[in-house]
């Protein structure tokens, strides 16, 4: 239908993007899947679920990525992904024994930083929707984020990717800082933007750039004044 | 595919969210459908169309919800919903006799508030797109909003839900005020945010919160200075 | 399912919108397809691909529209469109001989304006993601935009339509100015907003209006001070 599109796909995406430095193929798989699931773009999912498994993302991690994105992109986005993943697991012979059994043992929480987060959100939004503030604390940060199937750094990478891909600029500052506190480097964040530009379009990446720029600058300033 | 997702769905969504106070199951059905249709998330629609019918939303109301969202989420989003609804109506034996026949008799308009709305939009945007300003007045506010199949309060609830679900923050202030003028309470608006967090993702709800907060505060101030 | 929706579709969309002045049926086809592809709304695509071909959009142009939107709406959005277009081409007997063969000869570039664009983006975002800045220059502006299958004016119309349809307000200022530099008139831009209101929903069009208003005003001011 479009020889040019086939050409770009082969030369730039397959031949260049995925082998760029600073972000591993495993991380690129995670960023790509987060971008696709956040926008419910089922057409790319079969290929990129397989790419993720080939690049070392485990079935447990895929399952956790989808669960994580149920909260960050809505329940139906997760269900679209589950439908596609069913076919992949069946084709690859991946069964329930390779998935985490409930209940899991939660990772320890950083009480100090969670207390700060919870207090800020309570003060800002308690009177707007106490229900949402409560679920955010109890279900999202004291449960979902502590599940052991993904590292905190990977959960952050998934979250920020979904935010950029779906144009949720207002939520990037908190989550990119959290991601970098969780070990994501500036070079990795820069490459994440490149990856998302291709999979969610240039505008999502460009609309995120001023926010990312401010986060980078603010962290430099804070680091500089820390001594 | 994801035991954790199944677990959250059963415990939190089925077991808790839908029975929370302040927003009825009927209203939650409407909010959920608006969120799904606004993002064309067909995968959740069959279940939630049935839930809506079971919770007392009538076939006429469902038909009007879809028509209303054609304007607020685009024609194709409405057509995706129509395709799904066909299957539901056929399975439940709901025929054309249960749907409103055209033309309907329109509800009376509040000329004063519509004149104010129309004048503001004309002044702000008449020179940008007189065509859009005209359609907004003639087709949206002097026709669609006056159709008798839904109360003004329900049309507002659907509109605000769609705006929050699709990240259209700039349009929330006007429509949330209109919703509350039409009878939506602050407690219901708060719970609407909770409901949308699950069905469209936390970021949509959190990006709406500062706008909702300002609307609540502004209405309190106006109420306080009214005496 | 919804007699009212059928009624609006027939009377307002088919009977009125498409025959409005200032934007040709060919241009309306392009705007509509860009809006649908940007949001991956496959359900409307078969009809509007046919409408586009009937209105004089060539197979080469359709192929280029999809390739262009791969960059502006993400790779998967383009692939959804390719899947639909396959069926249309097969039904209409359009074969590969009617599509542009790779490689094509690129149109000449306006070096001065590209140098200005590149320098601005480099200064603003070079330290945020040099990779994205590089791809933007080399692949997007020195390759994609110079492909001969679409005029610069049509590429701009497609780009702005996709930005408005997907709520990417922050990117509209640059691209609407570029569109008008490329020959899009103010009356055409106004009608583009009307068209997108119907196909992507009122909120996308209304959220774009303040940005479009500023671009129109700024260009009038610059034109006024040019003498």
Picking from A7, A203, A212, the nearest residue to C102 by CB comes out as A7
Q: Tell me the chain C residues in contact with residue B89 when contact means C-beta distances shorter than 8 Å.
A: 1
pLDDT, position C100: 78
Picking from C40, C135, C170, the nearest residue to A207 by CB comes out as C170
Q: Tell me the chain C residues in contact with residue A193 when contact means C-beta distances shorter than 8 Å.
A: 128-129, 131-132
pLDDT tens profile B194-203: 999 999 999 9
Report whether pLDDT(A227) > 80.
no
Report whether pLDDT(A182) > 70.
yes
pLDDT, position B102: 84
Residue C14 lies in a domain: no
Are C166 and A167 in contact by the 8 Å Cβ rule? The answer is yes
Q: Tell me the chain A residues in contact with residue B176 when contact means C-beta distances shorter than 8 Å.
A: none
Residue C193 lies in a domain: yes
Q: Tell me the chain B residues in contact with residue A80 when contact means C-beta distances shorter than 8 Å.
A: 41, 43
Question: Of C97, C119, C146, which residue constitutes the final position of a domain?
Answer: C146
DSSP letters, B83-94, are HHHHHHHHHHT-
> Min CA distance, B92 vs chain A (Å)?
24
Residue C38 lies in a domain: yes
**Residue B153 and residue B180 share a domain:** yes
pLDDT tens digits in sequence order for chain C, 227 residues long? 889 999 999 999 999 999 999 999 999 999 999 999 999 999 999 999 999 999 999 999 999 999 999 999 999 999 999 999 999 999 999 998 888 788 899 999 999 999 999 999 999 999 999 999 999 999 999 999 999 999 999 999 999 999 999 999 999 999 999 999 999 999 999 999 999 999 999 999 999 999 999 999 999 999 988 76
DSSP letters, B166-199, are TT-GGGHHHHHHHHHHTT--HHHHHHHHHHHHHH
pLDDT tens profile A118-165: 999 999 999 999 999 999 999 999 999 999 999 999 999 999 999 999
Chain B interface, mutation test: which of C203, C206, C218, most B Cβ atoms within 10 Å?
Answer: C203
Q: Tell me the chain C residues in contact with residue A27 when contact means C-beta distances shorter than 8 Å.
A: none
Q: Tell me the chain A residues in contact with residue C82 when contact means C-beta distances shorter than 8 Å.
A: 1-2, 5
Task: Return d(Cα B34, Cα B46) in angstroms, integer.
Answer: 13
B40 to C35: CB separation less than 8 angstroms, yes or no: no
Task: Return d(Cα B133, Cα A68) in angstroms, integer.
Answer: 41
Are A131 and B198 in contact by the 8 Å Cβ rule? The answer is no
Measured in whole angstroms, how far is the alpha carbon of residue A98 from the centre of its chain?
22
Mean pLDDT of B36-65: 98
Backbone φ/ψ region at A219: left (φ over 0), alpha (ψ -120 to 50), beta? alpha
A203 to C99: CB separation less than 8 angstroms, yes or no: no
C44 to B75: CB separation less than 8 angstroms, yes or no: yes
pLDDT category at B83 given cuts 50, 70, 90 is: very high
Are B199 and B164 in contact by the 8 Å Cβ rule? The answer is no
**Residue C211 and residue C113 share a domain:** no
DSSP at B150:
S
pLDDT, position A143: 97
- Per-residue HEC secondary structure of B14-81 comes to HCCHHHCCCCCHHHHHHHHHHHHHHCCCHHHHHHHHHHHHHCCCCHHHHHHHHHHHHHHHCHHHHHHH
Are A39 and A74 in contact by the 8 Å Cβ rule? The answer is no
pLDDT, position A100: 78
C201 to B71: CB separation less than 8 angstroms, yes or no: yes
Closest C-chain CA to B72: C201
Q: Between the CA of residue C33 and those of A190, A223, B82, C150, what are the distances in Å?
A: 32, 48, 20, 15
**Residue B33 and residue B141 share a domain:** no
Residue B224 lies in a domain: no
Tokens 């609830």 belong to residue: B157
Confirm whether pTM is higher than 0.95.
yes
> Min CA distance, C153 vs chain A (Å)?
19
Q: Tell me the chain A residues in contact with residue C78 when contact means C-beta distances shorter than 8 Å.
A: 2, 5
Chain C interface, mutation test: which of B43, B45, B131, B156, most C Cβ atoms within 10 Å?
Answer: B131
A43 to C79: CB separation less than 8 angstroms, yes or no: yes
Q: Where are the alpha helices (DSSP H) in chain A?
A: 3-8, 25-38, 45-54, 59-73, 75-92, 111-125, 130-135, 152-165, 172-181, 186-200, 202-224
Residue among B116, B132, B204 nearest C209 (CA): B132
Q: Tell me the chain B residues in contact with residue A124 when contact means C-beta distances shorter than 8 Å.
A: 209-210, 213
CA atoms within 13 A on the CB side of C206: 23
**Residue C55 and residue C99 share a domain:** yes
pLDDT tens profile A187-223: 999 999 999 999 999 999 999 999 999 999 999 999 9
Which chains are adjacent to chain B, needing at least 3 Cβ pairs under 8 Å? Answer: A, C
Which range marks the domain in which residue C44 is found?
22-107+147-217
A64 to B191: CB separation less than 8 angstroms, yes or no: no
Picking from B67, B135, B171, the nearest residue to C2 by CB comes out as B67
Picking from B190, B207, B213, the nearest residue to A171 by CB comes out as B207
What is the domain-level CATH number for residue B99? 1.20.1290.10
Q: Tell me the chain B residues in contact with residue C165 when contact means C-beta distances shorter than 8 Å.
A: 74
Which chains are adjacent to chain A, needing at least 3 Cβ pairs under 8 Å? Answer: B, C
Question: How large is the ipTM?
Answer: 0.97
Q: Tell me the chain A residues in contact with residue B167 when contact means C-beta distances shorter than 8 Å.
A: 166-168
**Residue B152 and residue B45 share a domain:** yes
B144 by Cβ neighbours in 10 Å (0-12 / 13-18 / 19+) ranks as: buried
**Residue C96 and residue C61 share a domain:** yes
**Residue B161 and residue B136 share a domain:** no
- Per-residue HEC secondary structure of chain C comes to CCHHHHHHHHHHHHCCHHHCCCCCHHHHHHHHHHHHHHCCCHHHHHHHHHHHHHCCCCHHHHHHHHHHHHHHHCHHHHHHHHHHHHHHHHHHCCCHHHCCCCCCCCCCCCHHHHHHHHHHHHHHHCCCCHHHHHHHHHHHHCCHHHCCCCCHHHHHHHHHHHHHHCCCHHHHHHHHHHHHHCCCCHHHHHHHHHHHHHHHCHHHHHHHHHHHHHHHHHHHHHHHCCC
Picking from A101, A104, A128, the nearest residue to B216 by CB comes out as A128
pLDDT, position C227: 62
| Total number of domains constituting chain C | 2
Q: Tell me the chain A residues in contact with residue B190 when contact means C-beta distances shorter than 8 Å.
A: 128-132
Residue among A65, A77, A82, A75 nearest A158 (CA): A65
**Residue A131 and residue A157 share a domain:** no
> Min CA distance, A211 vs chain B (Å)?
15
**Residue B57 and residue B33 share a domain:** yes
Are C38 and B97 in contact by the 8 Å Cβ rule? The answer is no
**Residue A158 and residue A115 share a domain:** no
Chain C interface, mutation test: which of B75, B92, B135, most C Cβ atoms within 10 Å?
Answer: B75
Structure tokens at A102: 């409930």
Are B102 and C3 in contact by the 8 Å Cβ rule? The answer is yes
Chains A and C form CB pairs within 8 A to the count of: 139
Closest C-chain CA to A5: C67
Picking from C41, C200, C213, the nearest residue to B128 by CB comes out as C213
Residue B222 lies in a domain: no
Question: Of B96, B119, B146, which residue constitutes the final position of a domain?
Answer: B146
Task: Return d(Cα A46, Cα A17) in angstroms, integer.
Answer: 19
**Residue A164 and residue A63 share a domain:** yes
Question: Of B97, B126, B146, which residue constitutes the final position of a domain?
Answer: B146
B2 to A166: CB separation less than 8 angstroms, yes or no: no
Are C195 and C12 in contact by the 8 Å Cβ rule? The answer is no
DSSP at A185:
-
> Min CA distance, B32 vs chain C (Å)?
18
Measured in whole angstroms, how far is the alpha carbon of residue B176 from the centre of its chain?
11
pLDDT category at A179 given cuts 50, 70, 90 is: very high
Q: Tell me the chain C residues in contact with residue A3 when contact means C-beta distances shorter than 8 Å.
A: 63, 96, 99-102
Picking from C5, C39, C40, the nearest residue to B70 by CB comes out as C5
**Residue A153 and residue A141 share a domain:** no
């Amino acid at each position: 239908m479009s020889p040019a599109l086939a050409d770009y796909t082969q030369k730039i995406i397959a031949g260049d993007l995925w082998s760029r430095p600073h972000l591993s193929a495993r991380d690129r798989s995670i960023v790509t899947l987060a971008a696709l699931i956040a926008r419910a773009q089922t057409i790319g999912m079969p290929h990129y679920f397989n790419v993720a498994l080939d690049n070392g993302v485990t079935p447990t991690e895929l399952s956790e990525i989808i669960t994580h994105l149920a909260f960050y992109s809505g329940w139906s986005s997760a269900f679209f992904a589950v439908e596609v993943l069913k076919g992949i697991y069946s084709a690859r012979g991946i069964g329930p024994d390779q998935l985490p059994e409930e209940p899991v043992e939660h990772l320890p929480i950083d009480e100090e930083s969670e207390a700060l987060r919870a207090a800020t959100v309570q003060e800002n939004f308690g009177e707007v929707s106490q229900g949402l503030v409560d679920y955010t604390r109890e279900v999202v940060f004291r449960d979902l984020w502590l599940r052991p199937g993904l590292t905190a750094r990977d959960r952050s990478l998934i979250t920020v990717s979904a935010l950029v891909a779906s144009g949720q600029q207002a939520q990037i500052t908190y989550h990119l800082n959290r991601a970098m506190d969780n070990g994501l480097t500036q070079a990795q964040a820069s490459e994440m933007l490149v990856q998302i530009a291709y999979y969610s379009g240039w505008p999502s990446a460009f609309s995120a750039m001023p926010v990312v720029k401010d986060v980078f600058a603010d962290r430099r300033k804070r680091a500089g004044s820390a001594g």
